[in-house]
Structure formats: C-alpha cells, structure tokens
Amino acid sequence: MDRISQSSAGGLMSSMGKEVVSTPYFVVDERRLLHNLEILKQVAEESGCKILLAQKAFSMFSVYPLLRKYLCGTTASGLYEARLGKEEFGGETHVYIPYSLSIHGFCAHVFSPAYRAEEFDELLQYVDDLVFNSPAQVRKYGIRAKNAGKSIGLRVNPECSTQEGHAIYDPCAPGSRLGTTLEAFEEELVPLLDGIHMHTLCEQNSDDLEKTVEALEDKFGKWLPQMKWLNLGGGHHITRADYDRERLVRIIRRLREKYQLEVYLEPGEAVVLNAGDLVASVMEIVHNNMEIAILDTSAACHMPDVLEMPYRPPVQKSGNPGEKQYTYRFAGPTCLAGDVIGDYSFEKPLTEGSRVVFEDMALYTMVKTNTFNGMALPSIVFRDQEGEEHLVRTFSYEDFKNRLS
C-alpha cells in the first residue's frame, strides 16, 4: 500500500505534495479495528464459542490477514462471498443467501430463500457447512451436500421479534421468508441435520438475545441435543460500549454445557463498529429555505442504509440542527431528489472545499456502494497504528463502464 498524508482540502497527498486521491474516500483505522477484535477475542475465550466475520457487512479483504488472527472464519450470503472468504480469509466460511445455504467450520454457511441449482456444485468447493432455509431445501440438496462431506443445518425462525424501528431488518416479522417456523418444521429430517441456525437481531444487546434463545428453546429445544452446533447469527453489538458481554458469555456457556454442542456467532457490525469513516468535501452551497451543502458523496450511492433504514449518520464536530450557529442540510450530487443525508450544525460556516467526516462508515457501506448516475466509487484507505494512511484502492470510469453492457 502506498503511504499518503492528509491535505488541508480533504484529499490525500503523497510525500511530494501531489494529491494522489481526492474525496470521497473510506478510511479504516487499525487501532479502532484492533480494539473491537480484542473484545471479540475475549468473548470467544471466556465463552468457548467461535466467532466468524459476516462478510455481508464488511468485505475489505486487504485486512483479512489481521482479522484472521482473531476470528475463526467468515460467513457468506452467496457464491461470490463464499469464494472470497475461502480465497482471502480461509478458516471457516459460513454462507447465507436468500436461497438456502449456510456454511460452518472450515466451512461456509449459505442461506437463501431460493436457490440456484447451477451454482451448487461450485459452492461446495468453498464451504464446509451449509445451512438451508426450508425443509424442502434439505430434502432437495441435503444428501448431495452430505455425500460431498459437508455439514448441514437448517435456519429456524423462533417467531420472537425484539426489534423496534427498522422492520426492514427484522427476520422474525410476520410473513418473513427467512427461516423455518415450528409449524413448518419436519421432524423426520432431524437425522440429516448437524446444526440449527437462527438470525433474529440487528444492532441489539444481549438481553434481546436471551429472550430469543428462550423462544428458540421453547420451540426447537427438544432437537438441540441431537445437534453438533448452534449458530446464533449476527446482530450482536458486542463491541458497543454499553453491551452486556457478561450476559452473552453466560448464555453461550449455558447452551454449550446443556446441549453439548459448538456455538457460533457471526457479527458483522461488531467487528468494525466505529472503526472507519467516510471523508467527503463540500462542492457547493445553495439556499432554499435553508442552507444546503452539496457534497461529493451520496447517500444513495455510498451509504444507502441512510435511506433504507433510515438513519442520520454521525458527523465529526457537528451538532443537531440549530444546536450550533450554522445549520446545513447535507445532500448528494445525484439527480435523485431524495439523496439527502441529514441536517447538521457547526460552530463555523462551511465553504466550498470544506471537509466533512461521516463516522462509523466501515460497515454496510463499501459492500453496498453503487454507481447510479455515474457516481464514482469512494477510494479505500487504511490508517495504521502509527497514524499513517495508506491508499488501498481507487476506482475509475472503467469500474463504472464494466458493470454495464
């Protein structure tokens, strides 16, 4: 990686003073990343569980060698993630896709409500454990996977919803396609299964996990003694300051001791929580009932969860609207009228070229960026423990063009 330094305009400069990458760019901080990894390592050691990286949240494979020192492997949501985990991370790869696979061990968990038969043989090359979404998928592909030496599981839905405010991320919502309910469970398939998987949380604490585990045991507990592993999915905000890690350790220990099985967690956000930023610049300021700062980044293209969830991302040195002297609405440069990030206030006025730093932008950003409207993808930068910033990747017109026909 090339060594670079910060310029006053918000771009990155080489030692010769020439700008080598301009805003916008993602920057992942090694010290903050290590802080999270140390916490996850401690949880794994104290509870005896195995912790995997959910690649759907963070797939910056240039740091996989670092993550590999702390985590047991990866989870994937499809063929390409499974291959990336196998080639760049190694260890266990768990894969999820909305068609019906999941992977464990030196393994990959794949999950999907539907499933491409033409991908199955290739997928088997990259995974060790497969988790199916329905009994029909177990009947269709289970024997085939077992004959290939794979461990298989079934994703269940304990029908216990503990989320508030973002139904789009609630796998236990009524009518959910994700996981098998008790009503749809087929006991005759249990001898084929090596494990049970559930994913019910999103940015939640361990008290919600405890409630969900109670529901899981109430509905599916009688089959757990016959399983080799139990995957508790993701959504555990383990590295958040107020997260009750002692409770999490107790839950995992109890499950391991009671049912004599391996327990997996597959956090995504917890691995990189607060470990990365998105740096942007003000392009222009216009007025329409209020001051509107048009940035060189886009909610629609570079941080789509802002619109999907929705939420207002934190910005360094800012306050709520009206809290500080100068208030601005941040918006992107695309033609989408709703490409609006949020309203923020500052002590000093912003001008063209002012730098804006969006915090907690390592998760669900790089993996979800797009080139709508011909928007360039943000560059990717890595900041090491000494504070030196290294350019990992820039993108060009060719990246935009090559996605099209």
288 and 328 inside one domain: yes
**Same domain as 258, residue 309:** no
Report residue 21's pLDDT band, with 50, 70 and 90 as the boundaries: confident
Among 272, 297, 315, where does a domain finish? Answer: 272
The predicted-structure confidence for 104-163, as pLDDT tens digits, reads as follows 444 456 666 656 889 899 999 998 889 999 999 999 999 999 999 999 999 999 999 998
pLDDT given for residue 103 in this prediction: 40
Q: Are 45 and 176 found together in one domain?
A: yes
- pLDDT digit string (tens) for 184-195? 999 999 999 999
User: DSSP letter at 377?
Assistant: P
Q: Closest by alpha carbon to 266, among 72, 31, 59, 32? A: 72
Query: What mean pLDDT is predicted for residues 359-369?
Result: 97
**Position 339 pLDDT exceeds 90:** yes
Please determine, for residue 18, whether its predicted confidence score (pLDDT) is greater than 50: no
The amino acid sitting at 342 is G
DSSP string, 48-117: --EEEEETTT---GGGHHHHTTT--EEEESSHHHHHHIIIII-SEEEE-BTTTB---SSS-----SS--G
Do residues 66 and 13 share a domain? no
Is the same domain home to 108 and 190? yes
Q: Is the entire prediction scored with pTM above 0.85?
A: yes
Rounded to an integer, what distance in angstroms lies between the CA atom of residue 333 and that of residue 339?
8
- What is the reported pLDDT for 66? 97
- Number of structural domains (the chain) is 2
What is the tens place of the pLDDT at every residue in 236-259? 999 999 999 999 999 999 999 999
**Percentage of the chain exceeding pLDDT 90:** 82
| pLDDT reported for residue 224 | 98
The pLDDT score that the predictor gives to residue 98 is 41
Q: pLDDT value at position 144? A: 93
* Contact predicate 153/132, CB 8 Å: yes
Are both 371 and 306 inside the same structural domain? yes
Question: d(Cα 177, Cα 112) in Å, to the nearest integer?
Answer: 9
Same domain, yes or no: 214 and 159 = yes
- From 252, 272, 292, the end of a domain falls on 272
| Count helices and strands in the chain by DSSP H and E runs | 11, 19
Residue 389 has pLDDT above 80, yes or no: yes
Q: Which residues contact 22 (CB under 8 A, 6 or more apart)?
A: 10, 11, 12, 281, 379
Residues 337 and 245 in one domain: no
303 and 347 inside one domain = yes
**Mean pLDDT computed over 364-379:** 97
Average pLDDT over the chain, rounded to an integer:
91
Q: Locate 133 and state its tokens.
A: 């979404």
Q: Are residues 140 and 255 in the same domain?
A: yes
Query: Which residues span the domain enclosing 177?
Result: 29-272
Shared domain check, 235 and 286? no
Decide if 362 contacts 275 (C-beta within 8 A): yes
54/167 same-domain check: yes
pLDDT of residue 7: 45
pLDDT at residue 349 above 50?
yes
Tens of pLDDT along 94-104? 554 444 334 44
Amino acid at 394: T
CB-based contact 312:290 (threshold 8 Å): no
